[in-house]
Structure 1
């Protein structure tokens, strides 16, 4: 396992959260693309995935605004668009198992502060990607991503990076055929 790669991926992942907060979506797309290039996807695959991930983040903001306006139908429309963007990412990356719906759902439940639902869909996103043989890894990845979200909310960039590096360190140990991370 390459510790340097895990550190680079963790730093890029943490950077994505801050770029999202700053609404720097072009840079967010670039950071996401860099993650996939580092994971040995082609430049075209990586750039297209990065662009779609950036668009999904923008739609998540639109969904949050619809939620604040109490427009449930509009909010759900945005989440369906997010799911479709993330499914496109899966397709471009050649993933066999659909994890996009679980990422979309934990994003939605995160905004609605439904912790058990967040945990369930975070776990399913990882479990579906890494499989039963890596059940414990799926649990650890779920924990690290929960910690990333929790610490990010408190605006602690260093601890966010540390948790993201732990996430990638754990994930790269098993060399999965597909990655549960979609941005």
Structure 2
């Protein structure tokens, strides 16, 4: 396992969360693209995936506004568009297992403060990508993501970055055929 690669990917992942908060979507797309280039995807694949991930984040913000306005139907429409963008990322990266639906669902449940559903869909996103043979890894990955979310809410950048690095170090140990991370 390359500790330097895990550190770079973890820093970029943590950076994406703050770029989203700051609504710096061009930089978010670039950070996401860099993650995929570092994972060995072509520049075209990485840039397209980064752009789609940035668009998914923007759509999730639109969903939040619809939620705040009490427009449930519009909120769900935006989340279906998020899923479509993330599914396109999967296609571009050549992934065989659909994890986009679980990422979209945990985003919804996170915004609706349904912690058990967040946990379930984070776990499913990870286990679908790494397989049941790597069940312990999927559990660890899920716990790192839960901790990242917890400290992100408290604006603890260093701990979020530290957990993102641990996430990638654990993930890179098993050399999965596809990655559960979609932004």
Q: Tell me the TM-score range normalised by the shorter chain.
A: over 0.9
The equivalent residue for 1:4 is 4
CA offset digits 1:98-146 (Å, max 9, x no partner): 0000000000000000000000000000000000110000000000001
The equivalent residue for 2:170 is 170
Distance 2:150 2:78 in 1: 24
Residue correspondences, number:
183
> Structure 1 runs of 4+ off > 6 angstroms?
none
Equivalent positions of 1:109-128 (< 5 A) are: 109-128=109-128
Q: Residue 134 of structure 2: SS of its match in structure 1? A: helix
The equivalent residue for 1:154 is 154
Q: Gaps spanning 5+ residues in structure 1: where?
A: none
Distance 2:18 2:122 in 1: 20
Q: Residue 40 of structure 1: SS of its match in structure 2? A: coil
1:65 aligned to 2:65?
yes
Distance 1:67 1:157 in 2: 27
Q: CA RMSD in A?
A: 0.3
Distance 2:147 2:55 in 1: 24
CA offset digits 1:51-86 (Å, max 9, x no partner): 000000000000001000000000000000000000
Q: Residue 151 of structure 1: SS of its match in structure 2? A: helix
Q: CA deviation at 1:7?
A: 0.2
Distance 2:18 2:132 in 1: 33
Q: CA deviation at 1:17?
A: 0.3
The equivalent residue for 2:17 is 17
Distance 2:20 2:132 in 1: 33
Distance 2:166 2:37 in 1: 20
The equivalent residue for 2:96 is 96
TM normalised by structure 1 equals 1.00
